[in-house]
Amino acid sequence: MGSGGFDADRVRTALKAQTIETPSWAYGDGGTRFKVFPQKGAAQNILHKLEDAACVHRLTGVAPTVAVHVLWDFVDKTPEEAKSCAESLGVRIGAVNPTVFEQNEYKFGSIGNPDSRVQEKAVSHISDCVEIMRKCDSKFLSLWFADGTNYPGQDDLRARKHRVADNLKKVHDMLDEGMEMLVEYKMFEPAFYSTDIGDWGMAYLFAKNCGPKAKVLVDLGHHALGTNIEQIVALLIDEGMLGGFHFNSKKYADDDLTTASMNPYELFLIFNELVAAAGGNSLYDTAYMIDQSHNIKPKIEAMIQSVMNIQETYAKALVVDRKALEEAQKAGDVIGAESVLKDAFFTDVKPVLAAAREEMGLDPDPIRAYRESGYQEKIEKERG
């Protein structure tokens, strides 16, 4: 047992088995719609992005895969070359993200566009992405669409639903055995009147109707303020429809902030559901991915910080006294049940995290290790 009254050996074992995917787009210059502040040493191509992701993995030990965005990343490297580069650096290509929102043709949507030619262009691009998955040994096709309308009467809402459903079914049927398509949702932006996949219920409906290879992707920043995300997670788990996460944080309407920077307790309650669903000693088996674009924080340090925050939150969920929680719930002891969760949330798990990292041959403080590594100075010099 640890000094805090929990089984530290059990927690360390679980922490060492955790994996978190980082996104390629977080390592290049990016930010908000209003201004992008360039950073020295920011990744300029897929090789740079893979190098930075590999650095995060070396220092944390739990970030072995890198999500890619197709039209942003496969510019000067083929999928085979990118896969080889990743493996040479000690990481792998993870989820493949189609890019169906930047071209002029997508002004009125992609798979929901009233123009069948635009729909075909989007589906063709996604088909190309599935082929990239095959070449990169990727399991996940991560789908987010900017589709929607900005004004009442702009389009027929039911017709848009049918277009989206039909095209998603086409994509589903392209997938090989062992592949999954994750259907993401967002309540608004850039569609400010109606969004074609605006909440978890819509994503669930579309995915369920597609077939067994489709599940829902939960992005923590894509909800109305005050939404009970942990209840959504619990429901999707119970329905066997939770496909994965995009971890980030938000205060108001954007969603690219460092994970757990705004509401750490919310993230803890989400992880409490994930650990409970796995029996209390591990995580529910789904895709754990970060989706952030750091505009003012140093990019690599911010990614390390997010990984560490996720690790810390997972550790706290592991120390919940499940027996005491169940007893309090059965007895109708509301204060007692809440206290069990609060006790775990306020437990200092940093010593057990440091010990787990040391057992993995890592520095117990990844941020400090990064600052002392000279990597930032190296890439600033090399990349200009």
Average confidence (pLDDT) per 10 residues, the chain, 384 residues: 73 98 95 83 97 98 98 94 98 98 96 98 98 98 98 98 98 98 96 97 98 98 96 98 97 89 97 98 98 93 98 98 98 98 98 98 98 98 92
Structure tokens at 28: 């290049």
Residue among 292, 298, 218 at smallest CA distance from 256: 292
8 Å CB contact between 27 and 52:
yes
User: What contacts 146, CB < 8 A, 6 or more positions away?
Assistant: 100, 101, 106, 109, 110, 190, 191
Q: Is 179 exposed, middle or buried (0-12, 13-18, 19+ CB in 10 A)?
A: middle
- Cα 119 from chain centroid (whole Å): 26
Which string of b and e fits 129-138 if b means at least 16 CB within 10 Å? bbebbeebeb
Residue with tokens 């995915």: 207
The domain segmentation of the chain, as residue ranges, is 18-319
- Cα 347 from chain centroid (whole Å): 26
For residue 96, give the DSSP letter.
E
Rounded to a whole number of angstroms, the distance between the first and last alpha carbons of the chain is 50
Amino acid identity of residue 68, one-letter, is V
Pairing between β-strand 194-195 and β-strand 92-97 as defined by DSSP bridges: unpaired
pLDDT, residue 256, reads: 87
18-319: CATH number = 3.20.20.150
Residue with tokens 């669409």: 145
8 Å CB contact between 183 and 147:
no
Cα angle at 32 between 30 and 37, to 5 degrees? 50
Q: At what angle do helices 299-318 and 350-359 cross, to 10 degrees?
A: 110
pLDDT, residue 4, reads: 53
